[in-house]
Structure 1
Amino acid sequence: MEPVRFGLVGYGFGGRYFHAPLLAAAPECALLGVVTTSPERRELIGREHPGAATFDSLEALAAAGAEAVSISTPAGTHTELTDRALDLGLAVVCDKPFALDAAAARASVERAERLGLLLAPYQNRRVDSDFRTVRALVEEGRLGTVTRFESRFERFTPDPGPVPAGGGTLLDFGSHLVDQALVLLGPVTSVYAEWRVRESGLDDDVFVALTHASGARSHLAGSWSEGAPGLRFRVTGTAGSYVVDGPMDVQESMLLAGGTPATLGEAWGAEPEERWGRLRRGDDGEVVPTLRGRWDTFYPAFARAVRGEGPLPVTARDAVVTATVLDAARRSATEGVVVRL
């Protein structure tokens, strides 16, 4: 198919490492250019993506012939930029958090539907290596009926420095943690949450407990200041538990080291054996080979959807559901109540 002409808004950490390399590596996408007014970032783009132009605005990007755009800017700007891009006739991928609350998320989704344009949240963590393995074990019935899903995004950065408006661990890590729980276990009926408010005024050390309509429970934790990160996953079922005790999915470190799906080929997303999880039944256990991480599939799937050749990798309505749960978690942590949905 003809590659989709893609633009990128923002070239900070996320745009530089999580979006630009994956867009550039996808044959289905043509990275037209990046919207940024920073001279330093324009210089970086010229060195790292010499075929890409730089633009002062979304309007200039659209006028240059872009068909789609990926938004990777501070959280508080996501809704405004998403809506502006849609009004310019562009298909949109928006990084997490998709919006600061469910009302804003819903309004953007309805705008896209009204305009007949594609819109998707960038939920790349659905195709993390370890989460793909969790889903495969559940689908194969090797855990029996899942009763509890424990998931953690914990890192040790005691002084993260200034954080853009709209940040905070609940929205940052929680956007992925909640989305994974919903994908695995379905709709939520109640939410309980706790957090610690840091000196900056932003939340951290977040714990969210979800009760799903199926009766299963999710226990989710996120922190930027955890000196001893816990298990990445412990998924408990009636036939056993799957445990992953190790660092986050390897794709992030590959991108930070300069690797891409184009340069690494079949090695992309492959976890070394020492990081594989175990299927446990009391004292008995077996190592389970971890499936490859596949962040490289998101943009090709979105491009095919733009061309009418396949479904979106993640639907925009999913972002509204996730935001609804995060709103409930914010209320629960603030008021000390269990919120029913």
Structure 2
Amino acid sequence: MQTPPINVAIVGNGMATRVFHAPYIAATPSLHLAAVVARQPDAVIPAGAARRGDIAAVLADPAIAVVVIATPSDTHAALAAQALRAGKHVVAEKPLALSLDEARGLARLAQKQERLLVAFHNRRWDSDFLAVHQAIEAGRIGRVVHFESHFDRFRPQVRDRWREQAGPGAGVWFDLGPHLVDQALALFGMPLGVSADIAALRDGTGAASADDWANVVLRYPDRRVVLHAGMCVAGGSPRFIVHGTQGTLIKRSFDPQESQSVAGLRPGDADWGIDPDPLQLIDGTGAETQLPAPRGCQQHFYAALAQALRGEGPPPNSIDELLAVHAVIEAAQISAREGRVVDPSLL
């Protein structure tokens, strides 16, 4: 007898729902998007899902097993706590919470309720990261001594969006930092120290604007990891620059999946996840080799979630991994504010 799909509800009907969550859930046969919480009566809802006007209707529905929180950052923790108390498994957009203590409280609640709590760290399945990860694991450049990860854009004008206005959960470090940190920790584990500079540098920024530039250094005994995000980078920077004892890796372009989804492509389409930009390998003699980038597959996040819900594998990220990301995020904030190196393990 075929096992019925697991019902999922998404809270929020913005870009993250349309571009990431709804298409990836639809691409996972063992999951079913049953409902989307959208306040607007005329909101366009993904096919097959019902519109719900508030989260209470979703939490009261015993058929819903998983709740995805895809709302502004300052609401994630409270909504996740509501869902956990209602006995639902939770997927939360990053950042899960606005502080490490808040994230720890959610982790304790999830363990008490015996429910899964995962953050939507979909960038582990980006083609650019997969290419660099595989090359490092294969020893193509020896021991890594310098790892540089950029999430740069050219948006020189401050827009009237909650992410760009000063307030809890706003700013480029809260928005992009979790992706950068999660990828770095997946490769190298927890650093011994974090030093950071975080600022608002665009024209028109001030007390009413959120940070739009971040440069964060993770310190390890035998390497340095530089995480950078900026909004005034015309032409972009290489996505990754990695130096090792036997060579260098350069990945210039971003993974294509977000732009593909915006354009209407979906997982399973012929071109989905195909990255035409190869990984450049430069050896100690200066010789260059082009390594094809693996196919991006962010939909694997939800495939892993479904397996975990059925007891067939680990979740896409563990509680310990989730808290480690928050510890580094907070260590960087403290470092930028106080001008000192911060050990995230002591927070």
CA distance in 2, matches of 1:288, 1:320: 34
Judging by fraction of residues, say which structure has more helix.
1
> Residue 339 of structure 1 aligns to a residue in which SS?
coil
CA distance in 2, matches of 1:188, 1:181: 9
Q: Provide, for residues 168-212 of structure 1, a one-character-per-residue CA deviation record: whole Å limited to 9, x for no partner.
A: 111111111011111111111111111222333311111000112
| Candidates 95, 113, 116, aligned match of 1:115 | 113
Number of the residue aligned with 1:240: 247
- Alpha-carbon RMSD: 1.4
CA distance in 1, matches of 2:77, 2:252: 36
Q: Provide, for residues 58-108 of structure 1, a one-character-per-residue CA deviation record: whole Å limited to 9, x for no partner.
A: 221133321001111000000001100001111111111111111111110
Report if the CA contact (8 A) 1:196-1:205 is conserved. Answer: yes
Report if the CA contact (8 A) 2:40-2:53 is conserved. Answer: no
Report if the CA contact (8 A) 1:271-1:292 is conserved. Answer: yes
Number of the residue aligned with 2:237: 230
Alignment of 1:17-28 (within 5 A): 17-28=19-30
**Is structure 2 residue 223 aligned with structure 1 residue 219?**
no
Alignment of 1:153-302 (within 5 A): 153-159=151-157, 160-164=159-163, 165=167, 166-197=169-200, 198-199=205-206, 200-212=208-220, 214-246=221-253, 248-262=254-268, 264-265=269-270, 267-272=271-276, 275-281=277-283, 283-302=286-305
Aligned residue-pair number? 330
Shift of 1:26: 1.4
> Residue 234 of structure 2 aligns to a residue in which SS?
coil
> Residue 203 of structure 1 aligns to a residue in which SS?
coil
**What 5-or-longer segments of structure 2 have no aligned partner?**
none
Shift of 1:6: 0.5
Q: Provide, for residues 302-321 of structure 1, a one-character-per-residue CA deviation record: whole Å limited to 9, x for no partner.
A: 01211112110111321211
**What 5-or-longer segments of structure 1 have no aligned partner?**
none
What TM-score, normalized by structure 1, do the two folds share?
A: 0.93
> Residue 34 of structure 2 aligns to a residue in which SS?
strand
- Once the two structures are aligned, what percentage of the paired residues are identical? 38
Number of the residue aligned with 2:137: 139
**The 10-residue stretch of structure 1 (277-286 or 223-232) with the greater mean CA deviation from structure 2:** 223-232
What TM-score, normalized by structure 2, do the two folds share?
A: 0.91
> Residue 192 of structure 1 aligns to a residue in which SS?
strand
CA distance in 1, matches of 2:127, 2:252: 13
Report if the CA contact (8 A) 1:169-1:204 is conserved. Answer: yes
CA distance in 1, matches of 2:170, 2:26: 28
